[in-house]
Structures are given as C-alpha cells and as structure tokens.
C-alpha cells in the first residue's frame, strides 16, 4: 500500500475549492454566542452573573453587562438589515468594543472579520474587498480610513444612544436567523 504524502491541508490533493473545503460549520450549540449564554446562565444560577467578565480601561465589565451590550448591539444590527451569513468587519480600538461586536455579530449568525488598525488604508480596502465585507463596525475616529473602500459603516460611538435603547432580552430564534 502506498502512503499519501502530507500536503499541509485537509483537502485531497487535486481537489479544487468547493463546498467540502474546510471543516463543517459548528453545531448551533457550539457557537460562541451560545457558549457565552450558557456561561451566563450558569453564573446566574449560582448568583455570580455580576462578576467581572473583562477588565477594561474604564473598569471591569460584568457578565451581565457584556451580555446586555451584545444583545442590544445585535438587535441594532438586525434593524440595520445585517443578517445571518453577512460578513461584518470590526475596526475598533477598544478591546471591549471588539468583544461586544464579536458576540453581537455571532448572535445574528453573521461572520466577523477582524481588521488590524495598523494596516495602511489601501491594505484595509483590499482586505475588505477580498473578504466580501458589506459593513464595518467602527468609530468616527476611523471614518476616513474607509474612504478607499465601498462598504457601509456603523459608527458605534455615534449610535451608542440608539443601541442603549434596544431591548436587552435575548434574541428569539427568528431574530438570530440561521447560517
């Protein structure tokens, strides 16, 4: 019997790109948004939901605050017609904003594309085009960086008041969409 040589890929040698390339999508229960919800539920059961989830420049952020912020941003994104399967780029300086955006994006079944703010503007535009991104979550400080690209932007600093008015209850199955 001949052994196949490792090619550095899980793809069969000679197989072109197609729907079978890469790992299968994670089951719905293994998605990061569901894992985070289960963690929050477990902490609530034990009376620990107000414990610190992350440390920020503005002080600690509890699990409750993180979940609430993610749900509200997810609802806001849905109202902006961002849905399951969309690609959403994140150009956010503050790590806590990026974490909230990742959880919110996952909750609606969209994929986030993290961007390195250190990239030159032309390289940012190339990444956005190559990734097929339709919208960027960013701040007004970064607005000029998107001039060379053809994407919509959601300026989270400008929309904070509107986002804060969104319902903090968990999204329904319909609101989540499906991937």
104-128 per-position pLDDT tens digit: 999 999 999 999 999 999 999 999 9
Taking residue 134's Cβ as centre, other Cβ atoms within 10 Å add up to: 16
Q: Rounded to two decimals, what is the model's pTM?
A: 0.80
CB atoms within 10 A of CB 154: 19
**For residues 138 and 146, is the Cβ–Cβ distance under 8 A?**
yes
Instruction: Give residues with Cβ within 8 angstroms of 56, minimum separation 6.
Output: 94, 95, 96
Hey, how many other C-beta atoms are within 10 angstroms of the C-beta on 42? 12
Dihedrals phi, psi of 134, to nearest 5 degrees: -105, -25
- pLDDT 10s digits, 29-51: 678 888 888 888 898 899 998 99
User: How confident is the model over 136-161, as pLDDT tens digits?
Assistant: 999 999 999 998 888 999 999 999 99
The whole-angstrom separation of Cα 102 and Cα 110 is 9
């Amino acid at each position: 019997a001949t052994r196949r040589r490792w090619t550095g890929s899980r793809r069969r040698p000679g197989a072109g790109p197609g729907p079978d390339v890469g790992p299968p999508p994670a089951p719905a229960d293994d998605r990061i948004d569901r894992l985070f919800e289960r963690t929050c539920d477990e902490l609530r059961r034990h009376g620990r939901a107000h414990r610190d989830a992350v440390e920020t420049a503005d002080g600690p952020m509890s699990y409750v605050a993180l979940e609430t912020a993610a749900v509200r941003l997810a609802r806001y994104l849905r109202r902006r017609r961002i849905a399951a399967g969309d690609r959403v780029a994140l150009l956010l300086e503050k790590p806590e904003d990026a974490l909230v955006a990742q959880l919110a994006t996952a909750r609606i079944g969209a994929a986030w594309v993290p961007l390195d703010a250190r990239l030159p503007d032309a390289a940012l535009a190339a990444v956005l085009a190559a990734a097929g991104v339709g919208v960027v979550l960013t701040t007004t400080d970064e607005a000029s960086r998107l001039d060379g690209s053809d994407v919509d932007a959601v300026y989270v600093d400008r929309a904070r008041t509107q986002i804060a008015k969104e319902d903090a209850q968990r999204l329904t199955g319909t609101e989540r969409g499906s991937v």
